[in-house]
Amino acid sequence: MDIDTLIEQAEGVVWGSALRCDFNGYVPPLAQDWLYGDPPVDYLRSGEQPHFTGIAEDRVLKFRVEEKEELEKLSRIEFSRIQEGLMYDGWTGYLSSDSAYCSILLVTDQRVMIFVGQEGGDQVVEFPFEDPNFTAISPGLVIHADGYEYKLHAFSSVFRNTTIQTVVDIFGPEVEVNSPHHQQSNERSQQDKNTAAEATREGRPAVSVPDLLSLTPTSFEEYVADVWRAEGYECELTPRSADDGIDILADGESHRVLIQAKRYSTQSIGIEPVQRMAGLLVDNEYQADEVVIATTSSFTKSARRRARNIDNLLLMTGDEVVKRGNDAGLHLETEDGDPIYETEVSRDEILDLLGPDPLRTVEVQNALETNAKPLVQKLKELEDEGKVKGKHIGNGHYIWYLPTQ
């Protein structure tokens, strides 16, 4: 069977260029070539069907033990680097590709394979589903095998939900998987804030970055938390008074993620927030396994460069956030069209409401069903532009109206 037919029959996402390591000369960013040796397609057995591919740069797998000798005895993997833990007892081994190459994750109907590009000879690690030592894949892409837990590191951040769902869809009960569909998300204090994944139906449009920009900052945090909830994590939004830059605490099976969620329209996030979040990885108060900065905008070059050199730190742009949310089946409204998340009022909505007759702030707020703080901010912006008139009427109260022509 030819490769194109195998790709068409895949139940997940199979990237042909990753499978063949040759697609019109394209190679992943920051790499000179895909792999040193043969492409993954050459490893497929007769009748084996690929169902998912993913790529990553640098670190791709980590394994933590109490004694360094345990790492050296493992026969399945030859670790690229071994170091003593900073905020916990024990040792961690990292499997990494060389700088000139990338790594490829391949899920077929028979096994999970990891191809790690290394000069002189790639390292290929496989976990056959028929292997009695391979027992489960849990949220966060922790592979349970050989009596240990192998953590797919870079892949877990970018492809976690898609890969887990692919395994669930293909194998079901044949492989024990603690999938998002087998776990209940956290209960919310308000019924209309049930995760959008549970409200999915055909016909509702996919979420876009402009959609996320319409949310209040707190609602954007809720949306990001729902992405992790859909992947089996228990999430909690932190109080704003003293959160150390952490907006969301996400706890999964043996995996804690600290998330900073920033809803910016044009402002790029620089290196300072990256440095602050990196510091939390060695803060014993939080015991974090991973830190994430998720935004609706982007990151500066210096921020991205710094993040590449920090273990367990992920930067997510607006496009990556919506892709992760759409993959998880999240929407911004229920089947009946009711909003799941609170949105900010637009400038046009304010201008359409106001007229020559003055309205108090609370009247504008009630008519537009929005919060006072972002509303007043937009009203003052419109006043500065001369599009709205505001007048203080005492005791901190204002009235607003359109100027006469």
**Residue 171, C-beta contacts closer than 8 angstroms, at least 6 positions apart:** 129, 177
258 CA to centre of own chain: 12
Bridge partners, 343 (sequence order)? 215
Q: CB–CB of 263/220 below 8 Å?
A: yes
Residue at 237: amino acid letter: L
Question: What's the pLDDT at 29?
Answer: 63
Among 222, 86, 62, 76, smallest CA distance to 155 is for 62
Q: Which domain holds residue 357?
A: 347-401
pTM value > 0.75: no
Question: Is 231 within a domain?
Answer: yes
Question: What's the pLDDT at 250?
Answer: 92
Q: CB–CB of 186/222 below 8 Å?
A: no
Q: How many independent structural domains does the chain possess?
A: 3
Give the Å distances, CA to CA, from 325 to 178, 179, 231, 342: 19, 16, 10, 17
Pair (62, 198) in one structural domain: no
Pair (169, 291) in one structural domain: no
What CATH number should be reported for the domain holding residue 281?
3.40.1350.10
User: What is the rounded distance in angstroms from the CA atom of residue 362 to the CA atom of residue 370?
Assistant: 10
Q: Which of 269, 297, 327 is the last residue of a domain?
A: 327
Question: Is 203 within a domain?
Answer: yes
Q: CB–CB of 229/195 below 8 Å?
A: yes
The beta-carbon contacts of 317-324 under 8 Å, at least 24 apart in sequence, are 318/209, 318/212, 319/209, 320/158, 320/294, 321/209, 321/212, 321/224, 321/227, 321/294, 321/295, 321/296, 322/206, 322/207, 322/208, 322/209, 322/211, 322/212, 324/161, 324/227
Question: Is 333 within a domain?
Answer: no
> pLDDT under 50 in the chain at which residues?
87-88, 156-160, 172-202
Q: CA gyration radius for the chain? A: 24
Question: What's the pLDDT at 224?
Answer: 95
Pair (250, 279) in one structural domain: yes
Q: Which of 327, 359, 393 is the last residue of a domain?
A: 327
DSSP string, 268-310: PB-HHHHHHHHHHTT-TTT--SEEEEEESS-B-HHHHHHHHTS
Question: Is 258 within a domain?
Answer: yes
